[in-house]
Structure 1
Amino acid sequence: MKALYFEPFSGASGDMILGALIDLGASVSFIQKHIEPLANVSMAVQKTVKKGISALDVSISENSPNNERHFSEICEIISGAGLPEEVEKNAFAVFEIIAKAESAVHGKPLSELHFHETGQDDAIADVVGCCLAFYDLKNNPETQYCEILCGDINVGGGFVNCCHGKLPVPAPATLEILKSGGLPFYADGNRELLTPTGAAVLSHFAAPAQIRTSKTVCIGYGAGDAETESPNVLRASLIEYSGCVPLLKDQIEVLETNVDDVTGEILGHLVENLMAAGALDVSVFPIYMKKGRPAHMIKVISKADRSEQLARQIIRETGSLGVRIIPTKHRVSVKREIVSLPIQISGRTFEIPFKIARFEDGELITVSAEYENCKQISSEIGLPLRTVIQKAEEEGRRRFC
């Protein structure tokens, strides 16, 4: 199995990512052909040396600078460029990440939001160029990869001057992107090393990982503009591995509250509503509070961007006066997918979705038939639910093993 592995020990920006991918083998002419007319820019690529490390420097020059655009304007530019469908989809997704971060920082809806630095022609070229480079590498038999991984990101330190004034590193939008994307980061240095564009591209494409063992196929370095104590380059490697991270990492938050005056019916209704609103898991535990009062602890696992919404829902439904949000944790998990199969039960064929979980090396962990579908089948044919689930999962394991 092959993967692209980024090591942002000196941060990352759109042009650094693009330079590293071109250094790995992405076609310069393919990228230029699309981004120069799309963003009205000129793209130049040359080798440079940063503290003794040979790296590829990508320079994007604007032909007619445009300092700000609406999100909708950027989407129109991308949709009218005739890009491959996969590239267009990824470019939209990257800019949506930036847009949501800017919206959260400024407290404005997307329809009213102006992009400043990230709405300029060179930023659009960086994002679309990176999407084209990933696409080109993936479709080249020599550089084809299965997934994209990223190590801890050095965001730098100190302060940065932007259109909103002097702000601490990481800049607010960059920090919001890191929060939503779940990529681990640290601060080392006295200047900004991670840009919003770089953060958004890595957040969309890459999963967090620490490589234990691998075989390196090829290496690329993208040059940054900063002069730092260590080389200001981004290293990207195409690696072969048998399973660098058996468990996937992401970031979650845990919400908790104790209630002593809520009925079982209300709790059951709350659990259903929280799951429908995007909670990853909901648990209710019987507990004792002060003076021996029987009560329940409600515990919810959530992505960080959903926590406040779910907390409000808990308070509204239960009358709780507060919800504890435990600081962000790392969660490890296995890859899961939903696959539907035709299954014969009592002489009839039913289409049943299965939740399949595997380790990175393909080892099967669980095959779980979807409850609601099995419940409906049980009602239709008159077999006990447990029998329907047993028959479905036996057949599912036979086919997936």
Structure 2
Amino acid sequence: MRILVFDPFHGAAGDMITAALLDCGADHKAVVAAMRAVVADPGVETVTRAGIRAIKVRTHATPVHRTLADVERKLDAAAPHIPADALAMARRVFARLNTAEESVHGEHVHFHEVGADDAIADVVGACTALFSLKPQGVAILPIALGSGTITGSHGTIPVPAPATAAILAGSGLAVFPGSDSGELCTPTGAALLAEFAASLPARLGAYTILATGYGAGTKDSPKVPNVLRAMVVESAGAPAAMPQDAVDLLETNVDDASGEVIGEALARFMAAGARDASAIPILMKKGRPGYLVTVIAPPDSSAGLARLMAQELGTLGVRCIPAVHRFIADRTTGTVEVTFAGHTKDIPVKYGWIEGRCYTAKPEFDAAKEWAGELGLPVREVLRAISDTLDTQEKAGRQDT
């Protein structure tokens, strides 16, 4: 299993992460193109930090305060130059940053340092670099936070910065003070590492090192190497993993919509690109019966689906739990020839696979319902005939092997 290991023993910042991945062999051309879509051509050079050779990435941008919507517009404008998977991850990173900022400062906050063009470029560069290396998992070693105080947009504050602490508090990542003073892990660095670990979790067993890379920070201390190390490793001890992705979870409570309206709304959510949609009966305040409506959305479609939920259900608010990680089985579709009641028909079937073994086969219900209508028979009888055919095929396959 190919795993990216990050060792932020001296901390982490967005530019250091991008640089370390470039030093590991990430696609230089793709990373520079993605960053160039946000700022002028970034500088990529070789430097030394306390005697260790490292890559330093430099961007050239002035500080600016932005809202999440402003950042989203910057990402939209840069989208043609950023790989789709990296762009989706970059949006999730800024969603993490926004959630952390709101937890500290309240809603409708402006990003400060993390909203600048160089921070946006660092995020898209790091995400592009990550996917270009095609890891199957990411492992994060304990993160050095630093100590003392820093001075920023909100005056002098203790290390770690409030946003950094908020991001790491929900990440499950291990941290420690570190051997140097000052801010060693920035909010952008924390959000990137937290998102990497959530999107591509991996358990690290014994491994073979395939490549190492060092990303340099700006400070150059003669005694402490201000670098972040990344390694590409092959982990023989890690268990085989199912494919993974991340989705947004949209939820709202509804107490003034009929079952017919909710059923039609669920159908429209699916037609609009939802991965799944459901409604669960609940008891709401003052004893009113209602429904918890849940939509599983691809991250790049969640805003549109939330808007559709408001329109279809009349709700005044939709909760979004961003970047929920899920394991997904490999899926294929095929057809099975079924003979029933003197008639033969090809029925589409969806197959689920784990480690090359088919563990589930499910006929498409609409096709079964249509055939039942043609035959004038109950759908359950047609579904039973299809299941019997699939069982027979499975037994025949086991005998062949």
Is the contact made by 2:65 and 2:112 (CA closer than 8 Å) also made in structure 1?
A: yes
State yes or no: 1:232 paired with 2:263.
no
Q: Which residue of 1 aligns with 2:147?
A: 158
1:201 deviates by: 2.0
Aligned to 1:56, the other structure's residue is in SS state strand
Quickly say closer, same or farther: Cα 1:37–1:335, change in 2 above 3 A: closer
Deviations 1:153-180 (A, max 9, x none): 3142435433234444443322333355
Is the contact made by 1:12 and 1:199 (CA closer than 8 Å) also made in structure 2?
A: yes
Letter in 2 for 1:197: T
Q: Which residue of 1 aligns with 2:16?
A: 16
Q: Which residue of 2 aligns with 1:79?
A: 76
Aligned to 2:58, the other structure's residue is in SS state strand
Identical pairs, percent: 30
Point out where structure 2 has 5 or more consecutive residues left out of the alignment: 246-279, 284-289, 297-324
TM-score (norm 1): 0.62
- Taking the TM superposition and a 5 Å limit, the aligned residue runs for 1:41-60 are 42-50=42-50, 52-60=51-59
How many residue pairs end up in the alignment?
A: 311
CA distance in 2, matches of 1:124, 1:2: 27
CA distance in 1, matches of 2:4, 2:327: 19
CA distance in 2, matches of 1:106, 1:370: 49
Point out where structure 1 has 5 or more consecutive residues left out of the alignment: 139-144, 251-267, 279-331
Q: Which residue of 2 aligns with 1:322?
A: none
Is the contact made by 2:12 and 2:189 (CA closer than 8 Å) also made in structure 1?
A: yes
Letter in 2 for 1:54: R
Q: Which residue of 1 aligns with 2:95?
A: 96
TM-score (norm 2): 0.62
Is the contact made by 2:89 and 2:127 (CA closer than 8 Å) also made in structure 1?
A: yes
Is the contact made by 1:46 and 1:56 (CA closer than 8 Å) also made in structure 2?
A: yes
CA distance in 1, matches of 2:214, 2:15: 11
Quickly say closer, same or farther: Cα 1:381–1:34, change in 2 above 3 A: closer
CA distance in 1, matches of 2:383, 2:338: 12
1:220 deviates by: 0.6
Is the contact made by 2:347 and 2:367 (CA closer than 8 Å) also made in structure 1?
A: no
1:233 deviates by: 2.1
State yes or no: 1:70 paired with 2:90.
no
Is the contact made by 1:184 and 1:208 (CA closer than 8 Å) also made in structure 2?
A: no
Deviations 1:123-149 (A, max 9, x none): 1221122233235x34xxxxxx34241
- Taking the TM superposition and a 5 Å limit, the aligned residue runs for 1:235-246 are 235-242=229-236, 244-246=238-240
Aligned to 2:359, the other structure's residue is in SS state strand
State yes or no: 1:211 paired with 2:204.
yes
- Taking the TM superposition and a 5 Å limit, the aligned residue runs for 1:2-401 are 2-28=2-28, 30-36=30-36, 38-40=38-40, 42-50=42-50, 52-62=51-61, 65-81=62-78, 82-86=80-84, 87-108=86-107, 112-135=108-131, 137-138=132-133, 145-161=134-150, 162-179=152-169, 182-189=171-178, 190-206=181-197, 207-225=200-218, 227=221, 231-242=225-236, 244-246=238-240, 269-270=281-282, 276=294, 336-346=329-339, 347-356=344-353, 358=354, 362=355, 364=357, 367-369=359-361, 373=365, 380-383=378-381, 392=390
Deviations 1:223-271 (A, max 9, x none): 2345597643222122233452446899xxxxxxxxxxxxxxxxx8459
Quickly say closer, same or farther: Cα 1:375–1:350, change in 2 above 3 A: closer
RMSD: 4.2
